[in-house]
C-alpha cells in the first residue's frame, strides 16, 4: 500500500496534529506580529463575501480612517490597501514609483530593514544607491544633505522611520524637508511599519509622498494586509511604471476607487478585525493615547532591565519607545537559545537580534501589552537567569562602537 493510500484510509480522529492546541496564548514582546485583544479576534468570526455591500463599506471606512489618522487632507491623499505583509507594500511602492527608464532610488539605511529595501530594488532590477549609517545611531541629516547635493538625480528617496532591528528612530521630517529642498523631483518614501499609529508623524511637514505600514503593528490588528498612504498627485504620475501586476499601486488604487473592491481576493477576516482594532484605537485616545501606554511599557521595561544589569544597544533619544535592543550578558553561562526557550516555556516571547556587528536580543513593548505585562516579563527574565546560573545584575559587556553595516 502506498503512503498516500495509507493516509487516505485513516480518519481525522486518528491523525495527531500537535500544532492544534488549546494552550494559553503567549505574550508577544516582538516587533510583529503582536498580541491583539480578544475582541479583535472575535470580530473575525464572520464570513463576508468580497463583493458584499457590507464588506465594501468596511474597505471604504478603513481607507478613510487611515487618512484621517494621518492628519492629511483627503483631497490630496489616499489609502491603498494591499494583500500581504508590510514588505509587500514596500516592494509595491518601489515597483510603482520608480520609472522604468531613468529612474533611480536612494535608500538611507541604518539597519536590516534598510538593507531589505536595497535587496528589493536589486532583485527587481531597479537602479539603486544605498547611503549607510551605523546601526546604533540615527541617519544624519547633514550628511544626507551632502549626498543630495552631489548631483545624482533620484526618482525616490526612501528611509525606515523606526528601524526595528535596533529600535532607532530616524528624523523623517527633517530628512523629507532636505529631500524636497535639494531634489524636489524625488518622491519621499517612509517605511513607518512599526511607528504609524503610536509615534506622531507629520506627513505634510515631512513632505512624505508614500507612507507604508501594516495591520498587525501599532493598530493591533492581525497579519493579512498592509497599506500605503499616498499623495495622489505623485501616485497618478506612476501609471505604467510597475514591473509587476500584483504590486501595481496605481491599478490597485483605481480598482478601489472604481468599484470599491480589491483586484484579487482580499483578506476579508483580517479587514473585519481591523475595524474593531481601529475602534479600540480611538477609544484609547488615538495616537496620543497609544503612545502614552507604549511609553509607560517602555519605561517599566528599561528600568527593570537596567536593574537586572542589562545594557542597551542604543543610548539617548534615538532609541524611541517601540522596541529596545540589549547586549548579551558577558557571562559563560549565558546562551541566547536557552534563554529564549526558557522564557517561551513561561509564556513570554522575545526576539533575537537582527544586527551584523553585535550580539543582541530585542524586546518590544507594543501590541496589546500593559505595564503589568512588562513587570511580569521582568520577573520571568530574573527567574530564567537564575536558572541558567547567570548572576543578577548580569555582567555588562564592554561598550562597542558599531561600524557601518
* 341 closest CA partner among 397, 368, 380: 380
Phi, psi (rounded to 5 degrees) for 325: -100, 135
A 10 A CB-CB count for 52 gives: 12
| φ, ψ for residue 17, nearest 5 deg | -120, 90
Distances (CA, A) of 320 to 57, 99, 257, 368: 36, 35, 37, 18
Distance CA 209, CA 158 (A): 10
**Residue 290 assigned ligand-binding role:** no
Alpha-carbon 117 to chain mean position = 13
Distance of CA 114 to the CA centre of its chain: 12
CA 165 to each of CA 150, 214, 324, 353, 361: distance values in angstroms, whole numbers, following the listed order: 29, 17, 9, 7, 9
Angle between helices 141-148 and 172-182 (to 10 degrees): 20
All cell numbers assigned to 325 = 535592543
Annotated binding site: 362
Annotated binding site for substrate: 362
Amino acid at each position: 500500500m502506498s503512503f498516500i493510500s495509507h493516509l487516505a484510509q485513516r480518519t481525522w480522529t486518528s491523525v495527531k496534529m500537535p500544532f492544534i492546541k488549546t494552550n494559553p496564548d503567549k505574550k508577544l514582546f516582538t516587533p510583529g506580529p503582536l498580541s491583539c485583544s480578544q475582541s479583535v479576534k472575535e470580530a473575525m468570526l464572520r464570513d463576508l463575501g468580497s463583493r458584499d455591500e457590507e464588506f465594501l463599506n468596511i474597505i471604504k471606512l478603513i481607507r478613510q480612517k487611515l487618512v484621517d489618522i494621518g492628519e492629511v487632507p483627503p483631497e490630496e491623499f489616499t489609502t491603498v490597501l494591499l494583500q500581504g505583509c508590510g514588505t509587500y507594500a514596500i516592494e509595491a511602492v518601489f515597483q510603482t514609483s520608480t520609472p522604468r527608464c531613468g529612474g533611480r532610488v536612494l535608500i538611507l539605511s541604518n539597519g536590516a530593514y534598510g538593507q531589505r529595501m536595497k535587496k528589493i530594488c536589486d532583485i527587481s532590477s531597479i537602479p539603486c544607491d544605498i547611503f549607510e549609517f551605523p546601526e546604533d545611531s540615527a541617519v544624519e541629516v547633514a550628511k544626507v544633505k551632502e549626498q543630495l547635493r552631489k548631483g545624482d538625480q533620484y526618482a525616490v528617496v526612501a528611509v525606515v522611520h523606526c528601524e526595528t532591528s535596533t529600535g532607532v528612530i530616524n528624523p523623517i521630517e527633517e530628512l523629507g524637508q532636505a529631500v524636497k529642498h535639494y531634489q524636489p523631483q524625488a518622491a519621499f518614501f517612509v517605511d513607518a511599519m512599526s511607528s504609524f499609529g503610536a509615534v506622531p508623524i507629520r506627513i505634510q511637514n515631512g513632505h512624505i509622498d508614500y507612507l507604508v505600514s501594516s495591520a498587525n503593528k501599532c493598530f493591533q490588528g492581525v497579519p493579512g494586509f498592509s497599506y500605503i498612504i499616498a499623495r495622489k498627485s505623485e501616485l497618478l504620475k506612476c501609471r505604467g511604471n510597475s514591473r509587476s501586476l500584483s504590486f501595481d499601486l496605481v491599478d490597485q488604487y483605481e480598482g478601489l476607487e472604481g468599484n470599491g473592491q480589491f483586484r484579487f481576493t482580499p483578506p476579508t477576516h483580517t479587514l473585519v478585525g481591523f475595524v474593531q482594532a481601529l475602534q479600540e484605537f480611538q477609544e484609547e485616545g488615538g495616537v496620543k493615547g497609544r503612545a502614552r501606554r507604549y511609553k509607560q511599557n517602555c519605561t517599566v521595561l528599561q528600568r527593570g532591565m537596567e536593574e537586572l544589569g542589562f545594557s542597551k544597544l542604543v543610548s539617548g533619544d534615538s532609541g524611541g519607545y517601540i522596541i529596545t535592543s540589549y547586549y548579551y550578558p558577558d557571562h559563560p553561562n549565558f546562551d541566547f537559545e536557552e534563554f529564549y526557550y526558557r522564557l517561551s516555556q513561561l509564556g513570554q516571547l522575545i526576539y533575537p537580534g537582527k544586527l551584523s556587528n553585535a550580539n543582541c536580543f530585542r524586546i518590544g513593548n507594543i501590541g496589546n501589552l500593559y505595564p503589568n505585562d512588562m513587570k511580569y516579563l521582568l520577573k520571568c527574565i530574573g527567574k530564567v537567569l537564575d536558572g541558567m546560573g547567570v548572576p543578577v545584575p548580569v555582567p555588562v559587556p564592554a561598550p562597542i562602537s558599531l561600524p557601518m553595516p
